[in-house]
Chain A
């Protein structure tokens, strides 16, 4: 199963932490730091895989993708396939990109609760739930729509608001 999803920037600041087995905040922080230490030491043009048993316990591996100023990291155990996880990162990023229209770090900082919503549609309890970014997006939009109608507080994705703004 997938143990954790970590998004952090290239300075090691966490942007999104989701652990599918509970970890207390200090521990989360420590884990993030060790992951960052490993990733920042890796040169470009090498594989996207790292064996992480020193950090997360025996048999765990992580797959990461370095995009612009962000690292997307998935931590998982031997029941998953590295290449497939790499594609799952792709799904997440594609969805974010569609949702925020040219996603950048700031979108993620300010809308990390939205990002959690998206992630919950892709990964459920540590298992892959959905891999079509289109359907993820549809689900997320439906949630936003209902949230909007049920309450005055709303999250309008940049894409939508941008369209109305012009």
Chain B
């Protein structure tokens, strides 16, 4: 209603004072009636009526040109509202031929909005565009260039290319600029078609108009992205351009909100980030100008921050340099401390980039990060989860994954739910501290996002449960299995479960339900029957369920026990044997048949726990030979292979390597390949050529090109070796995961890490932290304490900076009790290993190869002293010269954080002693810079202190390691 009033008023104004003189009354009425439409249906009716009348009128002979123009505009309008106006396309095309600039422009506008670049009518426009590109009127040239950008496709590029190239020398800079950008567009469409023109882009970089130079940066950015090495020579030019821009050498007209040509600066920074990436020499040229921009750039305006952000991106991409890194960290912290959500978002993003170089930067901002995590802004939240995902390691995986799962449950957006679920799975597989935790986490993920997950995740989980975690520890494996079985039996009570999860449950129950003897076969079978009844499940689940029942029965028979058939099981079998699905039928009949066999036969059919055994196939069916022999002797006709039968054609006797040749004899329905720069070798050699492309650094574009061609040319199965290569190439950079290779990418982990991951020490720390985190609930005054705890558990392992807020120490006794209270989970996992660890007590993170910096800063808490010496924001580089603490401390604390079996209790007390003494030195009230929120900092500090004493965080840095590394 509000809007209608405005419309009414505006219309009145329009009729008085000029306004929309170009349009007729009819168009105004149309817009008005659409504005007044109360429903989508009404609006659609109006538009359809409009389209009908246009269809009639547009086809009338001798429509005046001015009229026609308005019709076309109305068609564009109708199409914008989602209705088809294709009957008018041809008229729009005709209008582009018009001599009048106004009509021509309207025609071009309409065709660029109407037509895709492979539309049949394009061919009618190419000629006009060609002509207009040669026009004397530069506005017509510009219009034609705009249209060419949108409409010219790979095939028609050659038709207009010469004209566009000529325009690079046009006297008007607006035309030159657009010509460069049109060429860029052609490059995007088809890199090959303009490959001979790349030198033009380099040349235009020196155009005396800054606008044209700026436009050249776009194609160069793309070119450099595709092939960095050929453009290293331009680093110095780019740097000097950037320097000139930043020093305001450009005309004032290029300023935007007092910033000199910010968009050019941003593009240059992006290019330099590419060129400097991993190149120490090139990066050396860049540091200076980056430092200048950091110093000069205003952070008060939006665009100034955009440039600063781009600088941070550049810093994080090029070869690291302590000075610019500090500047970048400083800007990042400004972003994070800002009130603007936009800047916080950029700050989180920047932080995610910087921690790749120096994980310590995150610590300073832990509270800001946690604020963002709880922010109502969804975008910010997601970005923060992305950051947490990047900084996950074995010490904080539990907190992070818990948070992620909570968030995953809370959202409805399936796309993001899927993404976050697969991230949870990935992190859990990679960093899981214990088997139980892993199973529980997977249960939660499956329960809430099961239907969104890839089937492979489920298969992976089953395989993990079946094969164990790679350690040769049967005990742990069977423990894992029985805990899985326990949890699944519990979960089956839930009303609604995703089908994928039910499949996993059925499979695991079938394999291991009775393995540890805790549950009787009939109990498990009863549960499995319930699965098919209680949950509205599909055939796949039923199939899993009946197969599981079969396995249980088989195990029982093998063990010599009697299988009594439960009535519900019998009815399930009856139901399935009458099922429409032949698969289910077969399974049901198989089960019935199995029940009649004796135990020996059953054992060979269904051996116990054989899911990991390889099954050997006898493709020749040789075991039937004697039977065949007998039959032939009895006068049966011998089998004639298909290929030898007369009148049948078969390709089966071709060698596999000729198979694709055979297929190339048949009709081809796809288009022929375009001629390629390098001739494709005959088919058998293709795998060889792939190998060479593998070895030789060929420009990426051509590489994909050949790859595609092969893909289209060969039937996918025919050439195993080339397929292998393809896979190998695509998996570049994907590391091996904990457990076994998964479908996911990114993140690092090595096989050696595997051993540390599952082990209890670190795990103890954070699970404790969780306990304490959840203990403190309710009271408002604890908000900040909670946040700090969360921060501590997130940033804990590598932290140490903000952890200095260790408070006074009266809580020691409580600490020990808390240790005793700690959830039994971790202790139960593998006490042996933890004891070993405690005995040897190596520096904790040394094996954590993924995070080199972390290794230098495990445990200990010398921060009070540090802070006193250095001041509010000590950079990592300044740490080394200040800290001195006892060397013993690190290992002692480590034992404190391990699972603390009774044997290590003495070391605990000594460690606590250390903390006591350290804390006494500290004047805690003074050095609490980061406690800004929460009504009662004192209270929260104490909370924090207890948390710490309980062992929430492996505190502090190891000064000696630091000195070794940085000193």
- Chain A residues at the B interface, C-beta cutoff of 8 Å: 1, 9, 11, 13-14, 16-18, 20, 22, 24-26, 28-29, 42-43, 45-51, 53-54, 69, 79, 81-84, 86-87, 90-91, 104-106, 109-113, 116-117, 120, 124-132, 134-135, 139, 142-143, 146-148, 150-156, 158, 161-162, 164-165
Contacts and interface: CB of A to CB of B under 8 A. Distances in A.
Contacts of A43: 376-377
7 contacts: A13-B34, A46-B380, A69-B3, A87-B257, A117-B105, A125-B182, A155-B102
A84 B263 contact: yes
A155 B21 contact: yes
Given A79-B270, A131-B256, A47 B379 contact: yes
A51 B379 contact: yes
Point out which of A83, A90, A111 has the most chain B C-beta atoms below 10 A from its C-beta.
Answer: A83
Interface string B142-186: 000010011000000000000000000000001001100110110
Point out which of B19, B21, B85, B177 has the most chain A C-beta atoms below 10 A from its C-beta.
Answer: B19
Given A113-B109, A143-B105, A25 B83 contact: yes
A4 B377 CA distance: 24
Interface string B8-52: 001100100111111100011001001100000000000000000
A139 B31 CA distance: 28
Interface string B328-355: 0000000000001110111000000000
A164 B18 contact: yes
B21 A125 contact: no
Point out which of A13, A117, A148 has the most chain B C-beta atoms below 10 A from its C-beta.
Answer: A13
Contacts of B3: 9, 11, 69, 105
A147 B101 contact: yes
B146 A42 contact: no
Nearest to B256: A131
A102 B21 CA distance: 18
Nearest to A9: B3
A116 B108 CA distance: 11
B254 interface: yes
A21 B479 CA distance: 55
Contact of A81 (B65, B185, B188, B309): B309
B452 interface: no
Given A83-B305, A131-B263, A158-B19, A109 B379 contact: no
Given A49-B379, A155-B22, A105 B254 contact: no
Given A25-B79, A142-B139, 7 more contacts: A18-B113, A54-B415, A81-B306, A105-B6, A110-B31, A129-B178, A161-B21
Contacts of A165: 17-18
B150 A87 contact: no
B17 A162 contact: yes
B399 interface: no
A162 B262 CA distance: 35
Contacts of B177: 129
Contacts of A162: 17-18
B18 A156 contact: yes
Contacts of B79: 25
Nearest to B259: A87
B137 interface: yes
A84 B149 contact: no
A135 B253 contact: yes
A109 B31 contact: yes
A22 B111 CA distance: 11
Interface stretch (B69-77, B647-655, B802-810, B876-884): B69-77
Contacts of B182: 125
- Which of under 10, 10 to 19, 20 to 34, or 35 or more describes the interface residues of B? 35 or more
Contacts of B181: 124-125, 127, 129
A32 to B, nearest CB: 8
A161 B83 CA distance: 33
Contacts of A135: 253
A11 B80 CA distance: 15
B146 A106 contact: no
B20 A82 contact: no
A13 to B, nearest CB: 8
A84 B80 contact: no
Contact of A127 (B20, B65, B184, B309): B184
B306 A87 contact: yes
A109 B383 CA distance: 36
Contacts of A16: 80
* Interface residues of chain B: helix, strand, loop or mixed (majority): helix
B275 to A, nearest CB: 15
A25 B80 CA distance: 7
B201 interface: no
A66 B306 CA distance: 20
A18 B80 CA distance: 9
A69 B106 CA distance: 27
Contacts of B99: 150
Contacts of A24: 116
A153 B137 contact: no
Contact of B262 (A25, A84, A127, A164): A84
A144 to B, nearest CB: 9
Nearest to A153: B66
B714 interface: no
B502 interface: no
B302 A86 contact: yes
B22 A153 contact: yes
Contacts of A139: 174
Point out which of B17, B34, B82, B174 has the most chain A C-beta atoms below 10 A from its C-beta.
Answer: B82
Contacts of B101: 143, 146-147, 150-151
B105 A158 contact: no
A50 B47 CA distance: 32
A113 B270 contact: no
A121 B27 CA distance: 26
B80 A17 contact: yes
A46 B376 contact: yes
B234 to A, nearest CB: 18
A28 B962 CA distance: 57
Interface in B306-343: 306, 309-310, 340-342
B102 A153 contact: yes
A142 B138 CA distance: 11
B39 to A, nearest CB: 12
Contacts of B382: 51
Given A29-B82, A124-B149, A47 B345 contact: yes
B87 interface: no
Given A69-B3, A110-B28, A112-B77, A84 B266 contact: yes
Contacts of A131: 256, 262-263
B342 A22 contact: no
A45 B339 CA distance: 10
B21 A120 contact: no
A33 to B, nearest CB: 9
Contacts of B150: 20, 22, 125
B494 interface: no
Contacts of A116: 109, 113
A146 B137 contact: yes
Nearest to A41: B378
B68 to A, nearest CB: 10
B931 interface: no
B268 interface: no
Nearest to B261: A131
B27 A110 contact: yes
B110 to A, nearest CB: 9
B7 interface: yes
Given A69-B3, A151-B101, A125 B185 contact: yes
A124 B178 contact: yes
Contact of A83 (B6, B65, B346, B416): B346
A9 B7 CA distance: 13
Contacts of B925: none
Contacts of A147: 100-102, 105
B120 to A, nearest CB: 14
Contacts of A105: 3, 6
Given A84-B266, A127-B184, A161 B19 contact: yes
